Amino acid sequence: MKNVIITGGSGFVGSNTIRYFLDQGCTVLAIDRVEQGPFEAEGLSYLQCDVFNTEELKSKLPVGEYDTFVHFAWAGSAGPARVDYNLQMKNALMTVECLKVAKEIGCTRFVCAGSIMEYEVEAAIHSQGSHPGMAYIYGMGKHIAHCMCKSVAADIGIDLLWPMITNAYGAGEKSPRFVNTTLRKIINGEPLQFTAATQNYDFVYVTDVAKAFYLIAKNGKPFCEYMIGSGNARPLKEFILEMQQALAPEAVPLFGDVPFTGTNMPLSTFSIEDTTRDTGFVPEVSFVEGTRMTMEWLKEN
């Protein structure tokens, strides 16, 4: 693996992954809608292109120059757009078309960012009498993309690898996701109100996510999915208490004030055993260390 294409290069996970690939000696072409990415580096070039226009994308990429295609581009990954089913279906179809472009320009491996929410979707949808909320729409889009890509990849002859992120967080993230929202409440002295937080969860720092993508792209077995997590999944309440005791010991977290309407997955779902065995991935950043670095970044920004 020497010459790599990475879409969504200006995003939170994408930009960190680009840095890691460069540090390992890869040449990277970052593709995004923006004209220039968040940083410049030796071995890195940018291509401004809307990946939803795959004909334009294909016309701008040389044949035979790149060996690996890593796909992060996904519109509406945070905020209200996560429940826009038209957009999420377009994302799924766009991902399949990018897979086909990767094959046509000579890439031998296509690595796509999946989500643990794909498992939550399956559990929610296939439970008799279930009433899954709109929050599942994003995960449904990822799951549909996964299913279609696997069939198309097998048909056209390209290796598909599907890393599945649990919950990435870290310095540089601006979205209102759980860790960021909780840390902002701590910084602002706001009440810490949660569900009973008995559901199983996991969080993984963004630099560990980037490392995992590199190792999966390099060493992963074709047509396998690989969970990316901390290796220490547990009930959400334990993460919250660990974060509160380390960063805001004077605060009093309140559990049960917010109703939980999601799906509780077994701890085995979060296992990174296959990822470690096949790729050599071992997380480095602890939750306390990661949340402390994230809080310091939020204070500065």
Which residues touch 245 (CB under 8 Å, ≥6 apart)?
none
Q: Tens digit of pLDDT for each residue in 111-158?
A: 999 999 999 999 888 888 888 999 999 999 999 999 999 999 999 999
AA identity, residue 253: P
CA 43 from chain centre, in angstroms, equals: 24
Residue 36: predicted pLDDT: 75
3-state secondary structure of 33: coil
- Go through the domains of the chain in sequence order and give each one's CATH number: 3-165 (3.40.50.720)
What is the enclosing helix (H) or strand (E) of 124? helix 117-125
Q: Tens digit of pLDDT for each residue in 198-253?
A: 999 999 999 999 999 999 999 999 999 999 999 999 999 999 999 999 999 999 99
Section 167-184 average pLDDT: 94
C-alpha distance from residue 133 to each of 6, 89, 149, 157, 177 (Å): 32, 17, 25, 37, 18
pTM: 0.96
Assess whether pLDDT exceeds 80 at residue 259.
Answer: no
Assess whether pLDDT exceeds 90 at residue 37.
Answer: no
Assess whether pLDDT exceeds 90 at residue 79.
Answer: no
| DSSP one-letter code for 11 | S
CB of 262 within 8 A of CB of 200? no
Assess whether pLDDT exceeds 90 at residue 175.
Answer: no
**The residue to which tokens 């999944």 are assigned:** 233
Identify which has the larger pLDDT, 33 or 67.
67
Ramachandran region, residue 45 (left: φ > 0; alpha: ψ -120 to 50; beta: rest):
beta
